[in-house]
Structures are given as structure tokens and as C-alpha cells.
Amino acid sequence: MRKTLLAALLAWPMGLLAQNVANYQIVPLPRSIEQHEGSFTLTAQNAAQSVRTHIDPSAKRWAQYTVPDEAYEIEVGKKGIDITAATEAGLFYAQQTLRKAMQMPEASLNEVTGEYALPYVTIKDAPQFPYRGVHIDCSRHYFPVEFLKKYIDIIALHGCNVLHWHITDDQGWRFEVKALPDLTAKASRREHTVIGNNCMSGNGEYIFDDTPEMGFYTQDECREIVRYAAERYINVIPEIDLPGHMVAALSVYPELGCTGGPYEVWPLWGISDDVLCAGNDKTLEFLKTVLGELADVFPSKQIHIGGDECPRTRWGSCPKCQAKMRALGMKKAGDLQSYINKELDKFLAQRGRDVIGWDEILEGELSENSIVMSWRGYEGGIEAARKHHRVIMTPTTHCYFDYYQSKERQPLSIGGYVPVSKVYSMEPVPAELTAEESRYILGAQCNLWTEYVLSEDHLQYMLLPRLCAMSEVQWVNPDQKDYTAFTETRLPHMLKIFKKLGYTYSPYVE
């Protein structure tokens, strides 16, 4: 009797456990989920015949969506699973939805092991915004290619379609330029890094960590990243931050600075007064060499040319910059940045590219095709949309993932407080804009600067689970966002997936 009971107890729950039940309440929430009575059992044996994909390019079928080329429909019924989309990207998003629903994020549907019960359902889905970006700063700290691939996997899991790759800055040059080999040979290495101030002695001297930080990406490695991302329908937009944030480059080409240097790869964080000399014609020559090679390596239609935080201090007293201003009839030093932007805009336009710049680029004249990345709040984005420039919203208040995410004890961060709830509350289209102006808002992006982020685990911790919230901002129709359902149902489901994949994430959802 005892043995029989034990056998029954063992057999019954095992039978139940063998079948995983798909749950369609995933992140980002699909636009429409109509569940019906019954379920289809997907197994390793029937997967090959039961999962069918269809491309239907008819514009009419997808016309209701703002981003038809990424739309998809899933029908689960008696005969299995039918996935339909206008493009391969749509098919990919449908597969991602099912993988997440089944909690098997790594495998394709044809590689199931065990049994999965998929409740009958009709899912119709498409993203709200065409631009769904995630940024990474690989200058302040270098992260290896294998690690970046994992980062791309994470952003693909969230339905994002852009990796904004910040690849040069004051503290390290990490993009190989074949015509300028010293950039990576020398400027990719920082000898020391600030870790504090000596307040005890009262002299406020900086304290440094003397462990060198180094690394760069060869052009072949960059192409490999582009290829890996493209397989996941992610476009890699590289950024060469200019004409400020250039101290690493100045350390090998001091003649491109207004004072002539010497400079060292910058060991401090913040904004340096040393920027490229806008009056020296060699500066444009240098930038065109860099951007020419960059455009050869990265097929992205958009190239980011930075433009943020460029003090005019040096330009104001530099004879070359002053002479350039006189020659071009400029009234203020800031016009020099606009002059550089225009030249590079023309250069990249000849290569079929559009420039993206941080919102400071609005201070000068912009070509019609320039895209503005609004980071100092929403104001830059509003102004740009009103001037009919395309806009990516990434205000510090909601999108800076280098800020603290909890009031609990946290790893040292640069400052600020952007918890999950704050990210989730982001509205990329400001209410001030008219319907016509709103069309210029391409989407949203979260930014992960890495002054204080040194390891892969730490980077994942800063990203997750805030990226879940950003993913819904980018994908879900604002009318369908629901923070309670997100935190109570969908987020726990995603955390189980993170555990399965071995990702590090913050437990604090505030």
C-alpha cells in the first residue's frame, strides 16, 4: 500500500512537470492576445511539421501597424503553430515571443526538448516605435567581443533593434583606423583611472588606480559584431564622439588640439576643456579619415557623430580657431562646431549616410536629414521635432541606466536615481507635440555609460531588469501599458528566463 502510494505520488507530478505550459504574458506585451479553449502539444517529434512560417508582404494586411515590416501574427490551433509576417524580421519577433512564452529563450522552436503545451491563441503584434535602441559605452571600459555578443542577445530578447556603440571617448580610443594605426596602438590604453579624491589630507588631490585599462576592436571584430547583431535584426550604429570627448586621440595627435598638448589618455571622468581644434584644417582631414573607414566597416544608414559637451574654452583663445571664425564670418565660437558638423554631414551624405548627434547639435544649423538624440531632457527632442528633424528620445531622467536603480545598498554609480518604475513611466512622444510633429519621434533608447562599470556581471546588473521596462516603452502601445500587470506578471516571468540564462539582474524593482 505504502509503495503504491509513493509510486503514484511520484508518477503523477512527474507527468505534469514533463509538460511546460506556455504563458503569453511576456515582455514586451504583444498588442493583442486572444486565447481560446484547448492547447497544442509541441514535442521534439512533431516540431518539424507543426511549426510553419509564412511571409505575406501584402501592404493591406499590415496597414494597421506603425511598423508593418516588424509586425507578425501567430495562430496556435489543432494543427500546430502558424506564424505570418511581412518580413523575416517579423518572423523573428514571432519566434522570440513564443520562445519567451515557453521559457526556452536559447533554442529555436524546432529544437524543443520535452513537451510544451501551447494554449490555442491568436496573437497580433507590432512595435509602437521603429527605433528601439540600447547604448553601450566601450571607451570608459573595454568589453570583449564575446561579451558584446551576449549583450546583443539580451537586447534581442527584449525586442530592441539598435545597438548604439559608443566606441571612442576621452578615456580610450577603441576603433581600429588602418590609416592611423597609433590610435589603437597608443590611445586604446589608459595608464591610470581616477577612483577618488584625497579629502582627508585637505588638498583634494585625485587618487588613481594604476592598473592600465586597454583594448580595442579590429575592423574584422567590428564586422563580426555587425554580422552577429544583424542575425538578430539589430542594427549597430557606431559613434565617434566629436569634436569634444577627443582627448585619447589628442594624446597621439597633439597638433590637433588648440594648445598643442602634451595630452594623455584622460584618467579623469567629466568634461575636458581640451577638444579638437576647429581652426586647424588637419582636424577635418583626420575626422574624414576616421569616418571614411568607419562607414566602410559599419553598413548602418545612420552614423553617430556625438556633439555633446564640447566646451568653447580653448576655441575662444586659439589663434587658429579665431582666424577660422574671421575667415568664415562667424560671430560666436559655437559656430565652429556647426561648421565641423556640416562638413561631416556632407561627407557622410556622399556615402549615403545620415548623421545622428546629441541634442547640442541643435545649437547650429542642421541638414534636413540629421537626427537628434535628446538626452538633456525632452526639450531638445521637442525643438527638433518642431523643426522637422527626426528624434530619438533618451532623457537622463528616464533612460540613463548608469544611474542608481535602488535606494538600497548598490554598487557605486555615477549618481542619479532611475528605478524600474521611472523607466516604465517614460513617454517618448511629449504631449506638447502635435500629431504631425509626433511623427518625427522615431523611438527611445536607454544609455549605459561605464565609468563605474567594470565587469560583465555589473553591466548586466545595471541593464536588468530596467531593460524590461524600456522594452515596453519602445514596443507597447502607450494605451496598453500597465505597470501593475507588468510588475506582478510579466516581470517575474522574465526573471525566470534571466535565471535560466545565467544573467545577473538587480532584485530591486522600485
The yes or no reply on residue 379 touching ligand ACM (CB under 6 A) is no
Minimum CB distance to ligand ACM, residue 373 (Å): 8
Minimum CB distance to Zn ion, residue 332 (Å): 15
- Buried-exposed string 373-407: b where 16+ CB fall within 10 A, e elsewhere: bbbbebebbbebbeeebbbbbbbebbbbbbbbbee
Binding-site member from 154, 258, 361, 426 for Zn ion (CB under 5 A): 258
The yes or no reply on residue 468 touching Zn ion (CB under 5 A) is no
What is the footprint of ligand ACM within residues 309-348 (CB under 6 A)? 309
105/311 with CB nearer Zn ion: 311
19/259 with CB nearer Zn ion: 259
Contacts of 334 (CB under 8 A, 6+ apart): 312, 363, 364
Which ranges of 109-162 does DSSP label H, i.e. alpha helix?
145-157
Is the omega angle on the peptide bond into residue 465 within 30 degrees of 0, that is, cis?
yes
* Binding site partner of 143, from Zn ion, ligand ACM, none, Cβ cut-off 5-8 A by kind: none
The yes or no reply on residue 363 touching ligand ACM (CB under 6 A) is no
Q: Decide if 32 contacts 123 (C-beta within 8 A).
A: yes
- Rounded to whole angstroms, how far apart are CA atoms 125 and 301? 26
The yes or no reply on residue 358 touching ligand ACM (CB under 6 A) is yes
The yes or no reply on residue 277 touching Zn ion (CB under 5 A) is yes
- DSSP 3-state of 173: strand
135/158 with CB nearer ligand ACM: 135
Which ranges of 214-268 does DSSP label H, i.e. alpha helix?
219-231, 247-252
Active site annotation includes 245: yes
DSSP line for 7-66: HHHHHHHHHHHTEEEP----SSPPSEEEEEEEEEEEETTTHHHHEEEEE---HHHHTTSS
First to last CA, the chain: 52
Minimum CB distance to ligand ACM, residue 467 (Å): 18
* Binding site partner of 387, from Zn ion, ligand ACM, none, Cβ cut-off 5-8 A by kind: none
104/248 with CB nearer ligand ACM: 248
Catalytic residue among 137, 169, 274, 472: 169
367: left (phi over 0), alpha (psi -120 to 50) or beta: beta
* Binding site partner of 321, from Zn ion, ligand ACM, none, Cβ cut-off 5-8 A by kind: Zn ion
The yes or no reply on residue 401 touching ligand ACM (CB under 6 A) is no
* Binding site partner of 375, from ligand ACM, Zn ion, none, Cβ cut-off 5-8 A by kind: ligand ACM
Position closest to ligand ACM via CB: 308
- Rounded to whole angstroms, how far apart are CA atoms 245 and 308? 8
Please identify which residue in the block is written with the cell numbers 547604448: 135
50/394 with CB nearer ligand ACM: 394
Catalytic residue among 164, 166, 245, 304: 245
Minimum CB distance to Zn ion, residue 182 (Å): 21
Alpha-carbon separation of residue 205 from 268, 398, 412 (angstroms): 12, 33, 20
Binding-site member from 24, 62, 173, 375 for ligand ACM (CB under 6 A): 375
- Rounded to whole angstroms, how far apart are CA atoms 240 and 138? 12
All cell numbers assigned to 28: 514586451
What is the footprint of Zn ion within residues 316-355 (CB under 5 A)? 318, 320-321
The yes or no reply on residue 378 touching ligand ACM (CB under 6 A) is no
- Rounded to whole angstroms, how far apart are CA atoms 159 and 161? 6
Q: Decide if 376 contacts 357 (C-beta within 8 A).
A: no
The yes or no reply on residue 383 touching ligand ACM (CB under 6 A) is no
* Binding site partner of 309, from Zn ion, ligand ACM, none, Cβ cut-off 5-8 A by kind: ligand ACM
Binding-site member from 69, 82, 273, 308 for ligand ACM (CB under 6 A): 308
Minimum CB distance to Zn ion, residue 341 (Å): 16
Contact footprint for Zn ion (CB under 5 A): 258, 277, 279, 318, 320-321
Contact footprint for ligand ACM (CB under 6 A): 308-309, 358, 375
Active site residues: 169, 245, 309
